[in-house]
Structure 1
Amino acid sequence: MANGWAGEGAVQEQIDSTVEDGIRRARSRLRDGEGLTHCEDCGEPIPEARRAAVRGVRLCVACQRERDRDEAVSSGYNRRGSKDSQLR
C-alpha cells in the first residue's frame, strides 16, 4: 500500500537505506593493525586491557567517549524521500 506521494515499498527502502548507511559508517571507523600505546588526542597512556580488547585502538576511553558524543550530535537519520526534505 502506498503512503501519500511515496511509491509502493518506499518506506521500507528508506529504512533499508538508513540501516545500510549506518553499517557503512560503522565499518569505516573500524581500525586494523597495531594500536597505539598513548592516546593520539591527549597523549595519556592507553591501558593494556583496552589495547587488548579494541583492535587498532588510537584513543583513551575519555577521548573516545567525547568523540562518540560529537559524532552522535552531528549524525542524523536518512531523510531521503521524506516529505519534509522535499519542501526545503
Structure 2
Amino acid sequence: MAGGWSRDGAVQDQIDASVKDAVKLARSRLPDGEGSALCEECGAAIPAPRRKAIPGVRLCVSCQSALEKQQTAHTGFNRRGSKDSQLK
C-alpha cells in the first residue's frame, strides 16, 4: 500500500533499487584477473593462503584494511525516493 503520489509497490521498488545498487558496488570492488605475490602498495609478500582464498588479490591485509577505511561508506539513503532529489 503506497501513500500520497506514489503507486502501489513503489516502496518495494525503492528497496529493490537500493539493494541492486549495493550489490553492484560490492561486485565492482571484487578483485579479478591474476593475483600478485607482492603487495602493490608496500611491496610486502602476500601469503599463499590469502592468494588462494581471494583470486586476483593485489594488496596485503594491512594495505587492504587501510584502503577500506578510506572508502566512503554507503549511507543507505536512497536518493531516488527523496523528495529533495525530485525538487532540484
- Tell me the TM-score normalised to structure 1 length: 0.80
Q: Distance in 2 between matches of 1:10 and 1:42?
A: 48
- Tell me the TM-score normalised to structure 2 length: 0.80
In structure 2, the partner of 1:76 is: 75
Aligned residues: 87
Where relative contact order (Cα < 8 A, 6+ residues apart) is larger, the structure is: 1
Structure 1: which 5+ residue stretches go unaligned? Answer: none
Can you list the C-alpha shifts for 1:12-65, whole angstroms capped at 9, x where unaligned? 111100111111112222223321111112221111111111110011111111
In structure 2, the partner of 1:57 is: 57
- What is the deviation of 1:74? 4.4
State the percentage of identical aligned residues.
56
Q: 1:3 to 1:62 in 2, by over 3 A?
A: farther
Structure 2: which 5+ residue stretches go unaligned? Answer: none
**What root-mean-square deviation, in Å, do the aligned CA atoms of Structure 1 and Structure 2 show?**
1.9
